Amino acid sequence: MDTDRTLRVFTDFYRERGHHLITGSTLLPPPGDPVLFTTSGMHPLTPYLEGRPHPGGRRLVNVQRCLRTTDLDEVGDSAHLTVFEMLGSWSLGDYEHSRSLRWGYELLRDGFGIPHERLHVTVFGGDDQVGPDVESLGTWRELGVPVDQTTEDNWWSNGPVGPCGPDSEIFVWTGETSPQGTPTTDPRWVEVWNHVSMRYRRHEDGGLQPLERPSVDTGMGLERLVTILQGRESVYETDLFEPWTRLLPPLWDLDEPSLRLISDHLRSGVVVIGDGVRPSNTGRGYVLRRVVRRLLTSLRREDPSRTLSDLPVELLRHTLDHFRLTCGTEVVRAELLREERRFDTLLERGRRLLSLPRYQGPLSERDYEYLHDTHGLPRDLVVGLRSRE
């Protein structure tokens, strides 16, 4: 099942069950939100999970693009991406958690064709504040799906304060053999979907207050689901990255980790620019700048003559289309090339400075500070330039 069909099956399933499809899922959180980028599907819905009425009603479905910079160093492994998408469904004080679990089961089995035997779930086993989630336990037992109970892993919260509650995590067996062990004992059980029963609000003092109107919040990573449905070991082997793995290797001779990092960062840069961010030295623009400079550093490592001018427009088009962005490819291309030129100017200045006699020996902390504060040369760039001399 390709990605487009996966998306359609998910949204159609919930729309047929009375959910309103949220359109517009920009990476930029609403004004006043202190977070730079949306990091999960439920993030923009937090006020509504706390009780505010949503203009779309009490049943919602969404495909939300998200960006996480905490995972930057893990980009390039088989699963972590900088920009990714979350499929989500919500009942804002409407139906019960057990109904969400039943629908989730039905969609995975009948909609996505995942055999019953390949499913396993975990539910909240209780702690000193909240009792075990017997309702979910009962629902999964009725459905005949094996259940493990845990404590920390089955409590979901967005932070130290705010809406939270017990959750049910659904795992799919990805091993070659028939299913073995459980999610807590065998990593071939991969978590795909989390159904949270948003029933409490956590206060500053750690106390829990039951929400007047409990909700259900579910989230499933699209890329992980697609990787499983297409029987691949890595997201880079799915149709999501097909144009990247087809077009980049003939252009640039890259090792696998660099190819992954460059594809991920370029794709992320395109989406961030598509959402209206421009490179700068602060906030969102700085995240974009870091992402672009990181990929340029990787791209140029073997061959400094490589340039983003050679980037096939098809990759920009494919990314903008997939993320339903209306921005033109020429705008994105111009921004990327402008940032590449700025980076080249900075590198040139760095090279000239570092060739001065005072920078020939080991550098002190004060040298790094001076190069950064006065000449705009970040430490990692200085280290990179010196190691190349």
**Closer of 39 and 227 to ligand SER (Cβ):** 39
Among 196, 211, 299, 382, binds ligand SER (CB under 6 A): 196
Q: Residue 112 or 193: which CB sits closer to ligand SER?
A: 193
Pick the closer one to ligand SER by CB: 44 or 269.
44
State the angle between helix axes of 222-229 and 3-16 in degrees (0 to 180), rounded to the nearest 10.
110
Range 48-67, binding ligand SER (CB under 6 A): none
The smaller minimum CB distance to ligand SER, of residues 223 and 339, is found at: 223
Binding residues among 79-118 for ligand SER as defined by CB under 6 A: 88
Nearer to ligand SER, 196 or 261 (CB): 196
The answer to whether the beta carbons of residues 204 and 219 sit under 8 Å apart is no
The full DSSP string for 240-266 is: GGHHHHHHHHHHS---HHHHHHHHHHH
Residue nearest to ligand SER (CB): 219
Q: Does 216 bind ligand SER (CB under 6 A)?
A: no
Rg, the chain, Cα only: 23
The upper half-sphere exposure of residue 24, i.e. CA atoms within 13 Å in the direction of its Cβ, equals 5
For residues 282 and 325, what is the distance between their CA atoms, to the nearest angstrom?
24
Stretch that binds ligand SER, among 108-116, 130-138, 215-223, 336-344 (CB under 6 A): 215-223
Reading the block at residue 314, the tokens are 């098809």
Check the CA dihedral 160-161-166-168 and report its sign. Answer: negative
Minimum CB distance to ligand SER, residue 169 (Å): 9
Which residue has 């009962």 as its token pair? 138
Contact 303, 254 (CB under 8 A): no
Is the Cβ of residue 87 or residue 261 nearer to ligand SER in the bound state? 87
Can residue 156 be called a binding residue for ligand SER (CB under 6 A)?
yes
Q: Does 136 interact with ligand SER (rule: CB under 6 A)?
A: no
Measure the CA–CA gap between 388 and 153, rounded to whole angstroms: 45
Q: What tokens appear for 262 in the block?
A: 């460059």
Specify the 3-state DSSP secondary structure of 378: coil
Site string for ligand SER, 6-45 (x = CB under 6 A): ----------------------------------xxx---
Tell me the closest approach of the beta carbon of residue 132 to ligand SER, in angstroms.
20
Residue 217 in contact with ligand SER, rule: CB under 6 A: yes
Q: How many helices (H) and strands (E) does the chain have?
A: 12, 9
> Between 98 and 218, whose beta carbon lies closer to ligand SER?
218
What is the contact surface with ligand SER in residues (CB under 6 A)? 40-42, 88, 156, 194, 196, 217-219
